[in-house]
Amino acid sequence: MNITVSRKAHFNAAHKLHVSQWSDEMNKEFFGLCNNPNFHGHNYDLIVSLTGEIDPITGYLIDMKFLGQLIKEEIEDRFDHKNLNLDCEEFKTLNPTTENIAVVIWHLLRKRLKETYTLKVILYETERNFVEYNGN
């Protein structure tokens, strides 16, 4: 029997979306506000979901204190109140789109979790726009 547990998290970060091979005009046209030369911020909401078997002894899928601490260490401490382009190694050459941030987050969490868990992350850049990644 598989069950899924989820934990929400949040971070604020600034970014600029930009394709270096394109002209400034083309970048502005395509990325709009997210191409603002002096960067701009988003309030990112994250939902981390793990699927697996309930431990027959504890009745837990995972200790939520552990999951909360893991998200804090790997994601919030790394990205909260940062400029993703300038402060974060992960985005030195990778455009910090919601898609790319979700993939980076997935890999950061995956390496700290037991292989028996299936991992999915959902990242909201705005209330209406969100991206889902499960490693496939």
Q: Which residues bind Ni ion (CB under 5 A)?
A: 34
Residue 1: count other Cβ atoms within 10 Å of its Cβ.
5
Taking CB atoms, the residue at the shortest distance from Ni ion is 34
We find the least distance from the C-beta atom of residue 31 to Ni ion, in angstroms, to be: 8
- Annotation marks residue 90 as catalytic: no
- Annotation marks residue 73 as catalytic: no
User: Residue 73 phi/psi, 5° resolution?
Assistant: -65, -45
Instruction: Decide whether 7 or 82 has the Cβ nearer to Ni ion.
Output: 82
Cα–Cα dist 129/64, whole Å: 27
We find the least distance from the C-beta atom of residue 34 to Ni ion, in angstroms, to be: 3
- Annotation marks residue 81 as catalytic: yes
Cα–Cα dist 9/55, whole Å: 24
- Choose, from 34, 42, 88, 90, the residue flagged as catalytic: 34
Instruction: Decide whether 16 or 120 has the Cβ nearer to Ni ion.
Output: 16
H or E element, residue 10: strand 3-15
- Choose, from 29, 40, 81, 132, the residue flagged as catalytic: 81
Instruction: Decide whether 6 or 39 has the Cβ nearer to Ni ion.
Output: 39
Cα–Cα dist 60/121, whole Å: 20
Cα–Cα dist 4/27, whole Å: 40
We find the least distance from the C-beta atom of residue 114 to Ni ion, in angstroms, to be: 34
Residues belonging to the active site: 34, 81, 125
